[in-house]
Amino acid sequence: MPPGHGLMLSTVSFHPFLSHFPVALFTAGMALLWATRGKDQPGLLAAVRFNLSLGLLAAVLACFTGMVSADLNLKTNVEVEGHQGYSFLFTLFLGISAGYSYTRAYSRNALLFYSLAGLGLMACIYSGYLLVFPAPA
């Protein structure tokens, strides 16, 4: 198997195990947020807050483990740093979104940051996918 095809950047890495949690927790948080709109259910809003807060912690851990696992000898700087940049943006927007979920969960600014976090997540997922499964030349 040629280098970089279906393999992580480093042989020993916790990044593949941790990187799925922010995706799932953010997605579940947004689904719960959508389900609670217009309803007075504080329990579900607490679940949204829990998902976004735990997702933020998982995103920070995924960022750190991703920085440790990056082996620049296998990939170009542009590929790795592009994914790291999208990861940082997603983590930043997720942190702001988690903050808004505690204060003004349905405000216009909160919805903007939820959307920006979702876009950052999609860019992060796609760039990470290209690191593991590069496009054919």
The C-alpha atoms of residue 18 and residue 21 are separated, in whole angstroms, by 6
Supply 41's token pair: 């259910």
What is the Cα–Cα distance from 40 to 37, expressed in whole angstroms? Answer: 8
CB 124 within 8 A of CB 90: yes
Q: What's the confidence (pLDDT) of residue 84?
A: 92
Does the residue 21 lie in any domain? yes
Give the domain range for residue 37: 17-131
Task: Look at residue 9 and tell me if it is in a domain.
Answer: no
Rounded percentage of the chain residues whose pLDDT exceeds 90: 63
Structural domain contains residue 108? yes
What token pair was written down for 87?
Answer: 């990861």
For residue 122, tell me if it sits in a domain. yes
Number of domains within the chain: 1
Instruction: For CA atoms 87, 4, 8, 76, give the dihedral sign.
Output: negative
Bigger pLDDT: 53 vs 76:
53
| Structural domain includes residue 10 | no
Token digits of residue 7: 């393999």
Q: CA 21 to CA 81: how far, in whole Å?
A: 21
Q: Is 3 helix (H, G, I), strand (E, B) or coil?
A: coil
The reply to whether 62 falls in a domain is yes
User: What is the structure's pLDDT at 54?
Assistant: 98
Band the pLDDT of 16: cuts 50, 70, 90. confident
